[in-house]
Amino acid sequence: MKQLLERDIMKITSTTSLYGVIGDPVSHSLSPIMHNTAFTRIGHNGIYLAFHVSDLPSALSGVKALGIKGLSVTIPHKVAIMNLLDEVDEMALRIGAVNTVTNKEGRLVGSNTDCLGAVNALLEKTPIQNKNIVLIGAGGAARAIGFGVLSQGGNLTLVNILEAEGEQLAEDLGVDYHHLSEFDKLDYQILINATPVGMTPGTDAMPVKSKELKNDAVVMDIIYNPLKTRLLKESEKMNCITIDGVSMFVHQGVAQFEMWTGKKAPADLMRDVVLDALSYLPQD
């Protein structure tokens, strides 16, 4: 990636602040490229790494022991991590999921920037208020998106393949739940996929069948690797407006960056470097 190779790399020293993303899987993440490029641009002495974490309690003990300054939290830890933190802010408590952790002098504080990221990504392409919206998924990202949609006046219906998980989130949000097998019976103007179905390396998969998609809807997939998932490709054939995962990803990353550094994030650069990185990855 020419843009990345040409940039100056800040010297790593004993005073360099360490940040990272934790998840399982996590090898697909472009958060390191996005944040490291942004750190370099503004002159912040920090480095951001990806950590494959299955043992969450031990990982958080390590965060404290090593003095790691901040974490992004991805699948499947966004809900489970809440009970392991020293503090969770009000917004994340209301959402019921954490995607950001800040180490404040040894106290790990959880926040959620997914909600803002999702809302801003949608509003770039469509109004939300009074729209009939179907959300597929019931994990941490779905919680944040559902909360955001409702806060903007959208009419939300939740769909999930695991009934207990789906029913619980629907109850928490105060919306209707349907099993994924009933998707073709639902009417919607906006469809959002908040599951990992279709993510690299399983790019042939999609959460619903092509024949179940509606013409002229707005379809958003929070997956950004690949940039154009099979769901988005099939939706384009149905004359749908599509929203890829990069917009939500960058918006939430900008909020994280500013939370950790106290400085304005170079948002345009962060978007450009993610798109540049994705252009070098197979999209089929």
Taking 3-state DSSP, the helix, strand and coil percentages for the chain, each rounded to the nearest 5, stand at 40, 20, 40
Omega of the bond leading into 226 within 30 degrees of 0 (cis): yes
Ramachandran angles phi, psi of 55, nearest 5°: -100, 90
Active-site positions read: 78
> Coil, strand, or helix at residue 169?
helix
Q: Is 16 exposed, middle or buried (0-12, 13-18, 19+ CB in 10 A)?
A: middle
- Work out whether strand 100-104 and strand 107-111 pair parallel, antiparallel, or are unpaired: antiparallel
Distance from C-alpha of 162 to C-alpha of 147, rounded to nearest angstrom:
20
Structure tokens given for 159: 């769909």
Strands 100-104 and 70-73 turn out to be antiparallel
Quickly list DSSP for 8-74: PPPPP-TT-EEEEEEESS-TT--HHHHHHHHHHHHT--EEEEEEE-S-HHHHHHHHHHHT--EEEE-
Neighbouring residues of 152: CB distance < 8 A, sequence distance ≥ 6: 119, 122, 123, 128, 129
| Among 274, 241, 280, 279, CA closest to 29 | 274
